[in-house]
Amino acid sequence: MSATDRIRGRIGSAIFEKVAGPRGPERRERIRGAGGAGWFAEDRPIRRVHGDSSMFVGGIRALLLQSLHPLAMAAVAEHSGYRGDPWGRLQRTSYFLAATTFGGTEGALEMIGHVRAIHERVTGTAPDGRPYAASDPHLLTWVHIAEADSFLRAHTAFGAQPLDQAGRDGYVADMARIATELGVPDPPRTESELAARIGQYRPELAATSGAREAARFLLFNPPLPLLVRAPYGMLAGAAVSLLPRWARRPLLLPSLPVTEAVVVRPAGQAMVHAIRWATTAPTRTQA
């Protein structure tokens, strides 16, 4: 093994450890060794999107977008522990995505059942006095469409092999299958339906103090060593560049079209490519 491959392996392992956590190797083997048919066939769009390093950008965008619903933000602030244990939350989310995307049907449904049970326990009252419940189909729909839109847009902008229109519609349909099992009623199944559903939620969206605090935490005060803050900043800047103006204004995030086109997106593309390089095994050539 060359020195470059050793460096690549160390960086890739460090990224995997952060994203997957200490139980990552065990969980990966469980997903790989699942018996029976996979929930999604190997050629499904969801596998291409969720297996790409553009998900790092999509994940940040999804959190920012989701925070704009006051009730969803209240649930996150009071129950997710995102400030006290942000890496734990990331690791739980990554395991859910891996299990439902790449695992077998039995394991995927078991994971969804576990998440639904957690949702039943997440209830409370938002700062504006309204009650919320994570199992509320209306809130579940918002969380789902914000994720689907963010992951798809990030992959379209930064993915190694962006999908064509049929593929993008297929991705939304694949995500709808997961959403239905989670309790989302009639989730969108095409890209145009997804955009229309997000538009329907816009009158309900607003930036609470909790949402702005979460944005500051995600973008400016992440729990990261100084050494990796600059690379993370490239990913965070790329995520913001994918937000529409109507979502940036309430969060007090700037819109700088020229800077984003010339600096921010190329930097994000370079960072996504670097992660892809580090986390993909080098191709072996035959002598």
Q: How confident is the model over 108-137, as pLDDT tens digits? A: 999 999 999 999 999 999 999 999 999 999
Q: How confident is the model over 269-279, as pLDDT tens digits? A: 999 999 998 88
* Nearest-5° Cα angle at 78, 199 to 17: 90
Six-digit token string for 196: 């229309």
Residues facing 38 on adjacent strands: 104
Distance between CA atoms of 98 and 26, rounded to whole angstroms? 13
Q: How confident is the model over 195-234, as pLDDT tens digits? A: 999 999 999 999 999 999 999 999 998 888 888 889 999 9
Residues 96/62, Cβ–Cβ less than 8 Å? no
Mean pLDDT of 235-263: 94
Mean pLDDT of 160-184: 98
pTM of the model: 0.90
DSSP string, 164-222: -HHHHHHHHHHHHHHHHHHT-SS---SHHHHHHHHHHHGGG----HHHHHHHHHHHT--
Going by C-alpha positions, the residue among 75, 68, 247, 61 that lies closest to residue 153 is 61
Q: Give yes or no for residue 37 having a pLDDT over 70.
A: no
